[in-house]
Structures are given as structure tokens and as C-alpha cells.
Structure 1
Amino acid sequence: MGEKIALWGFGLMNKVMLKYLIESDYQIATVIDNHNHGKDAGEIAGMEQLGVNIISREEADDVLQETRPIACIVSTKSKLSQIMDSLKILAKNRVNVLTINEEAFYSWNIQPQLTYEIDTMFRQNLVTFTGTGYYDLLGCYFGSTLVGISHKVDKLIVRIQYNFDDYGVGDNGIGLTMEEFDEKFVRTEREPTYFWPPVEALAIRLGWKVLSISQKHEPTLAPIDIQSKQYGFIPQGRATGFKAIVYCQLLRQDGKVAEIEAQSIGCIYHGEMEDYCEWETVGVPSLTLKMPKPDTTAITCASTVNRIKDCIKAKPGVVTVVEMGPIS
């Protein structure tokens, strides 16, 4: 059997992670969650019993000391501040951490103080912290590959669409009127959207200097009445989610200005809507790379599990996937 891996959080993502870890010959050290304490993790995930019971956060310190996993996959919240308590326990127990937390993908500029604290904490305990998941390849390395096979790229455009019904309930503007959405998402300053960190990571990967970066939000509206699995009834004309657009101007190595435009479209689906990932370049040559109907959950989980060995081998502290290179 391979290395011992812990899971923190046991929603949709880590249930899939559990399956992939077992199929990749890893051992499951422990599963930490807010629910189903004392129940077998395999049974809760719809698999055979594993003999690994789900434990509470309060038990985590003792169980980590006893089981000594080499790494933990954290799949809980989207902000670094929301997972700091978990990270302190994991770093103290010298556990490497991989997380699909969106801010963690590249947080040095959007959360410098928190990132410095995490970096210090993990370096002192000789373990590594990294953010990975869906944006690893589809939000960063696809873009750098297109630039790599081009003579010149003046603009990169990426669009990713996903269904909010596939994830837990969040603060996504769903059900708001146009006026309410405008008040909450347009006139009020928002924290950087999920695509902001991957854009900065891509700039680092390309060696392009960021001159400016900004974002805006546009609502996606229900053309008909929609019944959502997670959010209930959404009347026609109300918001089904939003399109978050990140604009970035950069200085290439040749001294010319280039652009990245990244669109993250999260909404409640209706009719024939489906996930997609699409990259375009404007340059010589201009290129288009389309991935219709990617399995967002599977890509997120496979990317994370496949990053474990890179994370274990990396230097201590905060190490981005850009520093690690493409998934080996």
C-alpha cells in the first residue's frame, strides 16, 4: 500500500477523492468532517466499508498524531481565512496539505498576510502547502501551452462554465433581482473572484509582468421559471448566478503589452446547458481550444490526487503549482 492520506471535509469532492485515492493505492488515514461522526467513511461515500470512521474536528489532533498521514486533502471552504484553524492543526502535526480552496491557488497578492503566516507555519514544521484542483491544468497550464506553441500572443481569453447545483449553497446572488444584484455585486466592492488567483499564476508561469488587474460581475438571468436542486424556485428574470470577469494587462518579455481575460460563469442550469472550458488566443497564429462538457468534479479530484507526490517532494512552506511544474 502507498502513503497514508487524510481527508478534511467529506462533501461531494472528498467523497470522490476517497475513491481516487484508494484506486491509486493510497491508504486512508482518517476522515475529518462536521457530520456522520463514528460512521464508516466508505459506507457514507457509497462504497464498501473501509474500517475508517469519520471523526470530528475536536478529535483531529489526537488522531493525526496516532495515524501520522503524510498528506491531507482539504476540501471545505473557498477562503484562506476559513481554513486557517484546520491548517494550524495539520501543520503542527507535520502533514503536507493540498487544497482545492480557490484563494490558495495563488494567494501571495490577494491575501499576503495570511499567505505569509501559512508559509511560515509550514516551513517551521518542514511540510508543504499548495492549492490545486480544477484550475491547475484548465486555468493555468492550458494557457501557457497555447502561448508555447505560438509565435506571438497578444491576448488570452478563457471561459469556464459550471453548474452551482453541483456544489453546496453559497453566496452566489441566486434569486436576486437585477437591482439587488447590482447593489450587492456591482456597487459593492467584492473580494477577488475564483479566477483571479489562476490569472496571476498564469502570468508568473509565462514570465509576464502584471501591469493591472481588475474584475467585474454580471448576472446570469433565468429566461424561464427554474427549479434548482440546491436553491429552490427561481422566478423568471431573477439571477441564476453570475459571470465573473477578470481583466489583466501584462508586459511581455519583448516589452509589448498583452492581455488576459478570464470568465468564470457559475449559474443554475436549465434546458441543455452544460459545463465547458474554452481557451482562445489572439496572435500569430490565433488558436482556439475547446473542451465541451468536461467532468468538473472528476478533473478537480484527479488533479488534486495526482499532485500528491509533487507536494510531498516540494520544499517546505507555501509552494504553488507553478513552482512545481506540470503534474508529473
Structure 2
Amino acid sequence: MIKVVHIGIGPLGQKVVKYARERKGIEIVGAVDLDPQKIGQDLGEFCGLDSLNVPIMESLDDVLNEKNPDVAVVTTLSSLERIESQLKELGAAGLDIVSTCEELSYPWETQPEVAGRINETCKENNVTCLGTGVNPGFLMDYLPSVLSSVCQNVEKVRVSRVQDASSRRIPFQKKIGAGLTDGQFKEKEQNGSLRHVGLPESVYMIAKAMNWELDNVEETLQPVYAKEHIGSGYTDIGKNNPSGVEQIGRGFIDGEEKVTLHFRAAVGEEKSFDKVEIEGTPSFSSTINGGVNGDIATSAITVNAIASVTKAHSGLKTMLDVPVPSCFSEV
């Protein structure tokens, strides 16, 4: 039996709780959230389930004083810098960690000093920390790395993720700028609060899997504009207003583009799909028509990774380092 404490009970955290509750061998023993309106409520009832007899607490100490969790599932922040102290506290408490923090998915090139500190804390306390999710963590980095297993050589990798964000949770729709004016979009783009987080990390993860030393990584961002009025999202979007975001990440060696990641998410997008194209021997492409629902997939892979982190060696790990997560009915 793996005892789990959930850190962060927002929309994504609630879905993760629901999925974890269905798995035999996982026992939810605690929950932590800073929102005063959530503190003291029963976790199960708050997440739309039957009572779990697990109150949502204000701090980790409140859980540790009463329970003895094995793994912390963290669904709080996207920023590695902002989540560092939280991860180090969990590691120092002797808990393995699975987090949906996008910048944690492969931080060794983008934020090596922070990654080094988290890794040191984990090794000192003999625990494992993993950043995962559908993207980054699977579709645009881990999946193409695995698909390259059948290649004798690889020259280039291109991944495209295009999705209609209408069915995604509201925080995601807001994060990609759906429903903003053009001016609001540009303002949020400039202050860094509007974008899909994790594209450079995905570029570097693929390069690591290929054993490529990249000279340069670039990322571009631009709005997707509504061609007509859209009413399928969390708010109405007027014609010619931003309905989402389009980003491209590129990795270069000697001026040659080796990794290209195309991410486009917008409310009302006509066709959703995920596509991996590998140029090499053999060259091939693999497409998931309709795409993978990000909220379902992120919640699922987070739960599926719980068993993987308990089997991995200590330290800060990526999806390339841990035993392959898979859907399981019982630990």
C-alpha cells in the first residue's frame, strides 16, 4: 500500500484525487491547500466523491504529525523557482514526489542551479522527485524519444500538438489567452504570465534522449485569432480576438534545426491531433487523430507515475530516468 498526500487541490488536483481514489494499493492519507475556503473540508466531498475522512490541511506539518505518507503528489505551480522550497520541504520530510510543475520536467539545461539543489535534497534524504504530465512529460518529449527506439539513426524530430481548448479546464484556457483582447494578450505575453510552459524543457529532453549537444534553443509565441465569434469556451470570444496561443520551440546543432516542436492550443480549433515525425532510418510519422485530452492525460500519468517513483533511484529524475509508467489497476 502506497500512502499519498495531495498538495494543491485546484481543478487539476481534484481530478488527480479522483483517479488516485480508483486505484487499489494507493491510500490517500492527506491533503494540503493554502486556500482558506478549502481548509477543513473533507477531501473526498470537496472533489465530488464520497467522504474520504481526509480533511484538507493548511500545511504539510499538519499531515506529517498525524500520518506517515510515502509519496507527495504536487499540482500547484508551473514555475520551478517558485516551487523549489515546497519540493525541498517534501524531500526533507522523506517523501517521494510526483509533480505536474512543467519546468520540473527537464530543468537540467534551463535552470541547472535550482535543479542541482533539488537533486541534492532528494539524494540526502533517499527520495525521488519527478516532473511529469501530458505536455511536457509525454506527448512532445518522452513519446518521440520512445518512438526513436526503432530507428537505426535519427536526423531530425518534429512534434506537433494542435488542440481545441474548449474542453480544457478554465485555468488552462486563461493561460493560453483565450477571451482576452489583443492588448491584454500582449501585456500578459510580455510579463510571462501567458504561454504554454515547458517547450524548451521538451526540446532538451529529446536532445538528451538522442545524445545531442544543442548549440541553441529558441522559442517563439504568437496569438491565434478567432475567425468568427466563438461561444464554446469558458467565455465568449469575439471575431479577431485571441482564442489561444501558437508556440514553436527549436533546437539547433551547428545551425541546423534538429528538433522542432509546434504547439497550438485555441478555443474553437477545427482539428485536434498529436503528431510525431522522425527523419532518419527509417523515417516515419505517427499521428493521434483527435489528440489526447490534456486534463485527463495529465491526471492519469501523474497517478501512474506514483508507482514508478517508488521504484526509482534517489534524486531529481525525468521521464527518461524512471521505470516506464503504465496504467495499473493495483500497485
| Smaller-chain TM-score bracket | 0.7 to 0.9
Q: How many residues align?
A: 318
1 CA distance for matches of 2:271 and 2:3?
36
Q: What is the SS of the residue equivalent to 1:50?
A: coil
Answer whether contact 1:217 1:245 (CA < 8 A) is retained. yes
Superposition deviation, residue 221 in structure 1: 0.5
Q: TM-score, normalised by structure 1?
A: 0.86
**Equivalent in the alignment of 1:308:** 306
Tell me, yes or no, if structure 1 residue 104 matches structure 2 residue 104.
yes
The counterpart of 2:278, out of the listed 263, 276, 281, is: 281
Superposition deviation, residue 199 in structure 1: 1.7
2 CA distance for matches of 1:274 and 1:43?
36
Tell me, yes or no, if structure 1 residue 266 matches structure 2 residue 265.
yes
Answer whether contact 1:277 1:290 (CA < 8 A) is retained. yes
**Equivalent in the alignment of 2:151:** 150
Answer whether contact 1:154 1:258 (CA < 8 A) is retained. no
**2:227 counterpart letter in structure 1:** P
Answer whether contact 1:275 1:296 (CA < 8 A) is retained. no
2 CA distance for matches of 1:92 and 1:167?
34
Q: What is the SS of the residue equivalent to 1:144?
A: helix
Q: Is the alpha carbon distance of 1:24 and 1:274 closer, same or farther for their aligned partners in structure 2, counting shifts above 3 Å?
A: farther
Q: What is the SS of the residue equivalent to 1:94?
A: coil
Q: TM-score, normalised by structure 2?
A: 0.85
**Equivalent in the alignment of 1:69:** 69
Superposition deviation, residue 143 in structure 1: 0.9
Answer whether contact 1:96 1:127 (CA < 8 A) is retained. yes
The counterpart of 1:200, out of the listed 204, 209, 223, is: 204
Q: Is the alpha carbon distance of 1:186 and 1:30 closer, same or farther for their aligned partners in structure 2, counting shifts above 3 Å?
A: closer
Answer whether contact 1:279 1:289 (CA < 8 A) is retained. yes
**1:18 counterpart letter in structure 2:** V
Answer whether contact 2:69 2:95 (CA < 8 A) is retained. yes
Report 1:227-246 matches (<5 A): 227=231, 229-230=233-234, 232-246=235-249
Answer whether contact 1:61 1:93 (CA < 8 A) is retained. no
Runs of 4+ aligned structure 1 residues displaced above 6 Å come to: none
Q: Is the alpha carbon distance of 1:168 and 1:258 closer, same or farther for their aligned partners in structure 2, counting shifts above 3 Å?
A: closer
**1:263 counterpart letter in structure 2:** H
**Equivalent in the alignment of 2:219:** 215
Q: What is the SS of the residue equivalent to 1:307?
A: helix
2 CA distance for matches of 1:276 and 1:312?
33
1 CA distance for matches of 2:28 and 2:177?
37
Q: Is the alpha carbon distance of 1:276 and 1:10 closer, same or farther for their aligned partners in structure 2, counting shifts above 3 Å?
A: farther
Superposition deviation, residue 192 in structure 1: 8.9
The counterpart of 2:57, out of the listed 43, 46, 55, is: 55
**Equivalent in the alignment of 1:27:** 27
Where structure 1 has 5 or more consecutive residues not aligned to the other structure, the ranges are none
Report 1:117-156 matches (<5 A): 117-134=117-134, 135-156=136-157
Deviations along 1:28-81, whole A, 9 cap, x unmatched?
A: 011112242221111111111111111123xx2132232121011101111112
Where structure 2 has 5 or more consecutive residues not aligned to the other structure, the ranges are 327-331
Q: Is the alpha carbon distance of 1:174 and 1:298 closer, same or farther for their aligned partners in structure 2, counting shifts above 3 Å?
A: closer
Q: Is the alpha carbon distance of 1:182 and 1:89 closer, same or farther for their aligned partners in structure 2, counting shifts above 3 Å?
A: closer
Superposition deviation, residue 17 in structure 1: 1.7
